[in-house]
Structure 1
Amino acid sequence: MIGIDLGLKQRTSLAMTPSLRQAIGFMALSNIDLSARLADLTLDTSVLKTSVGPVSEDWLTLMRQIAPPPSTIHRQPPEIHLGPGGSDTDRIPLADAGLIAHVEAQLPLLVRDSKDRRIAQIFLLYLEPSGWLAGTVSEIATEAGCSLQRAEAVLRQLQSAEPTGLFARSLAECLALQAEEEGLLTPPFAELLRNLPLLAAGEMEALAVACGCDRTEVLTMARCLRQLNPKPGAAFDQGTPTMGRAADLILRRDGDGWLLELNAQTVPVLRLETGAEAPPDAMTEARGLIQAIERRHATVLTVATEIIARQDGFLRGKSPLAALTINDLASATGLHRSTVSRVTAALSLSLPSRTLGLRTLLSASAPAARQQEEPLSVQAVLERMRALVQAEDRANPLTDDALAKLLLPEGAALARRTVAKYRAIAGIPARSARRRLA
């Protein structure tokens, strides 16, 4: 007799809602392409409002603060070094001419001492279009040929400039200057500024504990915070055209860490019109579209934040790229690898000195010499190979076997054929060709 065994098996699956499908499609678009896609959609303007450009109340959700790793040493010295008391008359200020002129008009009132005013001019060279300082006070003191204490005293005077928040060294300092002027800088508000990542993540309970107040007070402070301007210098930006396509993400220094933001000049933000009345279907569709855009923005920031945290040494110019793959990012963020692939392929990142694609910050790992060792990235191995070849005896160039032996103690276990492949990728000629060129 044949028995039939019936049983129930529970299985979970992700429902592919229209909002989710839309958000996934948005992942593969740059900010500019996303704006174009929204323009192609038939949006009910009586219900939805699209904004691109000036800082809005949504600025906090479009930024992420990234703390430096514990071992991070303070920033590298600036590329331009001048003697004590020197000046660089050919150097172009970072900020827009309108912002520079606005601050210069206030200098006689802000900085009374004529000698200190010369130091203030050096600070102006480091003023970003956002109104923040692009360098550390120690860097500026070195360039101005003065003591650190004197430079800090001049900075305190400059931070009295209008609009409030100029010459801040970090997001928290920029907001604190404005909060103090508005009479908002109570001890709980100061704690709120020290815990902005919790606010951006919506961790209201944890934020209430950190601030020593209840959830209602946290929400009240958060509403006040959103009225402050994280970029007080942006109003003076004349929109000088730049060569090439505008970056989707902007990375700038924030104290000893980083501040990552979606480019406000290109990223579209949707919101429901206040008091809008429309049929239920239209409201549902509008909310779904807003949710899809917000999900896209949050995912982009999550992926980019993980990349920047992993490549901190490279971004500071202290080390080559670390080994980092799409699978590593997917595992760290909890996102599907296809989502990570879409984001890294589509978006670009603006650094203080250049703009590059997110995908260029990824690198496969080279075969490790020891299993427990942190693997070197392929890019790190290529750079090391170039350095070894640069220092070799031109009359007796290194063989591929010799290169493999030299790389082994540094943690890369490469076969001769792998060395030959990497050498070709690095643009290094074969041994015989290098000997002919000697």
Structure 2
Amino acid sequence: MSLAPRLDLRQSQSLVMTPQLQQAIKLLALSNLEIETFIAEELEKNPLLENGGTGGDEERGASEPADAPEPDFEFEERDGPADASELIAGGGEAAGEAALDVDFAAETFHHDSGSDTIGAGGGLDGSLGLTGAGSGAAPEDGPDFDNLGSADLSLADHLTAQAGASVAGHDLFIAAHLIDQIDEAGYLTAALLDIANRLNVPLARVEAVLATIQTFDPTGVGARNLAECLALQAKEADRYDPCMARLIDNLDLVARGDLARLRRICAVDDEDLADMIRELRGYDPKPGCRYGGEPTLAVTPDIFVARRGAGWAVEINAATLPRLLVNRAYYAEVSAGPQDRTSKAWLSDMLASANWLVKALDQRQRTIIKVASEIVKQQEAFFLKGVAHLKPMTLRQVAEAIEMHESTVSRVTSNKYLSCARGLFELKYFFTSAIQSADGGDAVSAEAVKNAIRTLIQAEDPRKILSDDTLVELLNAKGFDIARRTVAKYREAMGIGSSVQRRRQKALEGVG
């Protein structure tokens, strides 16, 4: 083997990602509202870009799907500007899709979004006639507007205002220190003795100021534990008699549903105990949570789906997408004037960047529509009949059907919400694992199994609570081949307690 230096010529292939291509890939994972923020930043940086309004301001150019024996899956696209061909630089639709549809999982730049590390009346919805969306479970439910106003005022500010009207002098200083130690749920988190030592004041004085704070609104604030919080509310309601005091002192028995011991301890009959438990349920265990939280924000859908004859209309929510235009008149005016080499290069870069961004946003919408249309096609039974008919589906199935890579579908379905007649659903909701059918038929979706478990538990007899083993038998009878540990996992994931916990709860409800 020669040890002398030499020159070798080799050929190799590699994937090179330009900054613009990285940006286009990143845009796929952003929601419409995130895109709106991104576009606002680009409008500030690039003088050749201008906001042409939202797509919701224009007339729709697509027609209704034609009636056909078999359902068809069409999407409506908004007509572009008359000079759209001039606004998009180089390459057609197929070229754009090929550029965006790349597996970057093994590439240097694959961590370009959080999804990579994780496997209304008219106006918002164009012409689909959909109203705003609630949640997947209850589409008719909207945000609780009664709580929005109080969320603007923090609990600390609310208490400080009351302290200013109730105490004065050095006690006001002690009150301010105590309020600083009250958490968002309304509980005092520091020991009074520590506060007294820190402020160098008698413990009795700190206790007196705390007693004043505990009279503030909301009732129960400033308590040091749950029992004290409930006791303060019972006193406010003039229900804190010796029997109620003993009930509150034995909250562990209430949680366990040990009614017999509670009757003996409180020295009351069944009717009085039921009345006391009913009263206890009416109290707020976290009174401070009415203040200081972030305002409830409704989720804005990115895609609308509606039945159209024998097919479906799938549409991007254009109301949240500003429409970008390239101001060619301004470019021509500036380029015609005197400019040095640096200015000319900068202007060319701005034009190329503007053209690329317009093209990337257009291609993003087409890609989202293509993925959403395939989801609707494969999950048509869900849109027609409900969650019990949700089929198991993977990213790979959709990717193969639309001839794109799995990573592209993953990006498109991240942070996107679909609004339909059944409610508002994240696109990831439609991708679920499969549960084999007990009779050898088609596999069913895990979400459909969860729905079946929820339905069985909601309909169970309070005197005959269903155990996990019984749920397995009932599900097998329905055709679901499922193990007991899977039933327990799904039940816990839905926040449903065990049969023992539900039995105690039913007992308390029966008393209350």
TM-score with structure 2 setting the length:
0.44
2:35 aligns with 34
For 1:13 and 1:67, locate their aligned partners in 2 and report how far apart those are by CA, in whole Å: 48
Instruction: Give the secondary structure class of the aligned counterpart of 2:301.
Output: coil
For 2:10 and 2:482, locate their aligned partners in 1 and report how far apart those are by CA, in whole Å: 48
Change (3 A) 1:319 1:9: farther
1:244 aligns with 298
Instruction: Give the secondary structure class of the aligned counterpart of 1:259.
Output: strand
- Structure 2's unaligned 5+ residue stretches are 2-8, 80-92, 95-124, 130-144, 146-296, 336-346, 508-512
Change (3 A) 1:245 1:435: closer
> Out of 345, 348, 364, which is 2:414 matched to?
345
1:312 aligns with 380
> Out of 412, 421, 424, which is 1:355 matched to?
424
> Out of 402, 420, 428, which is 1:333 matched to?
402
Instruction: Give the secondary structure class of the aligned counterpart of 1:50.
Output: strand
Instruction: Give the secondary structure class of the aligned counterpart of 2:418.
Output: strand
Change (3 A) 1:60 1:15: farther
* Alpha-carbon shift at residue 418 of structure 1 (Å): 1.4
Change (3 A) 1:38 1:324: same
1:262 aligns with 316
Does the 8 Å CA contact 2:68/2:310 hold for their aligned counterparts?
yes
> Out of 409, 420, 423, which is 2:488 matched to?
420
Does the 8 Å CA contact 2:66/2:309 hold for their aligned counterparts?
no
Amino acid at match of 1:297: Q
Amino acid at match of 2:457: V
Change (3 A) 1:292 1:431: same
> Out of 281, 296, 301, which is 2:369 matched to?
301
Q: How big is each residue's C-alpha offset from its partner over 1:196-255, in whole Å with a ceiling of 9 and x where there is no partner? A: xxxxx89xxxxxxxxxxxxxxxxxxxxxxxxxxx96899xxxxxxx97243222223322
Does the 8 Å CA contact 1:394/1:435 hold for their aligned counterparts?
yes
Amino acid at match of 2:412: V
For 2:76 and 2:34, locate their aligned partners in 1 and report how far apart those are by CA, in whole Å: 29
Instruction: Give the secondary structure class of the aligned counterpart of 2:443.
Output: coil
Q: How many residues align?
A: 274
Change (3 A) 1:354 1:368: closer
Change (3 A) 1:361 1:11: farther
For 2:402 and 2:66, locate their aligned partners in 1 and report how far apart those are by CA, in whole Å: 15
Instruction: Give the secondary structure class of the aligned counterpart of 2:319.
Output: coil
1:404 aligns with 472
For 1:324 and 1:374, locate their aligned partners in 2 and report how far apart those are by CA, in whole Å: 12
* Alpha-carbon shift at residue 368 of structure 1 (Å): 4.6
Amino acid at match of 1:408: N
2:17 aligns with 16
Give the root-mean-square deviation of aligned CA atoms. Answer: 4.5
* Alpha-carbon shift at residue 377 of structure 1 (Å): 1.1
Does the 8 Å CA contact 1:66/1:260 hold for their aligned counterparts?
no
Does the 8 Å CA contact 1:28/1:342 hold for their aligned counterparts?
yes
Amino acid at match of 2:382: F
Q: Percent identity?
A: 33
Change (3 A) 1:392 1:53: same
Change (3 A) 1:316 1:293: same
Change (3 A) 1:60 1:329: farther
* Alpha-carbon shift at residue 23 of structure 1 (Å): 1.0
Does the 8 Å CA contact 1:366/1:412 hold for their aligned counterparts?
yes
Amino acid at match of 2:447: Q
Instruction: Give the secondary structure class of the aligned counterpart of 2:325.
Output: strand
Does the 8 Å CA contact 1:55/1:231 hold for their aligned counterparts?
yes
| Higher Cα Rg, which structure | 2
2:353 aligns with 285
* Alpha-carbon shift at residue 67 of structure 1 (Å): 9.3
Instruction: Give the secondary structure class of the aligned counterpart of 2:358.
Output: helix
Amino acid at match of 1:306: E
Amino acid at match of 1:307: I
For 1:300 and 1:306, locate their aligned partners in 2 and report how far apart those are by CA, in whole Å: 10
* Alpha-carbon shift at residue 419 of structure 1 (Å): 1.6
Does the 8 Å CA contact 1:269/1:293 hold for their aligned counterparts?
no
Does the 8 Å CA contact 2:394/2:432 hold for their aligned counterparts?
yes
2:288 aligns with none
For 2:376 and 2:327, locate their aligned partners in 1 and report how far apart those are by CA, in whole Å: 35
Instruction: Give the secondary structure class of the aligned counterpart of 1:258.
Output: strand
Amino acid at match of 1:363: T
Does the 8 Å CA contact 1:65/1:260 hold for their aligned counterparts?
no
For 1:299 and 1:252, locate their aligned partners in 2 and report how far apart those are by CA, in whole Å: 19
| More relative contact order, 1 or 2 (CA 8 Å, 6+ apart) | 2
For 1:272 and 1:67, locate their aligned partners in 2 and report how far apart those are by CA, in whole Å: 39
Instruction: Give the secondary structure class of the aligned counterpart of 2:442.
Output: coil
Q: How is 1:17-166 mapped onto 2 (pairs within 5 angstroms)?
A: 17-41=18-42, 42-45=44-47, 47-55=48-56, 70=70
Amino acid at match of 2:37: A
For 2:64 and 2:15, locate their aligned partners in 1 and report how far apart those are by CA, in whole Å: 27
- Structure 1's unaligned 5+ residue stretches are 2-7, 73-169, 176-200, 203-229, 235-241
For 1:301 and 1:233, locate their aligned partners in 2 and report how far apart those are by CA, in whole Å: 15
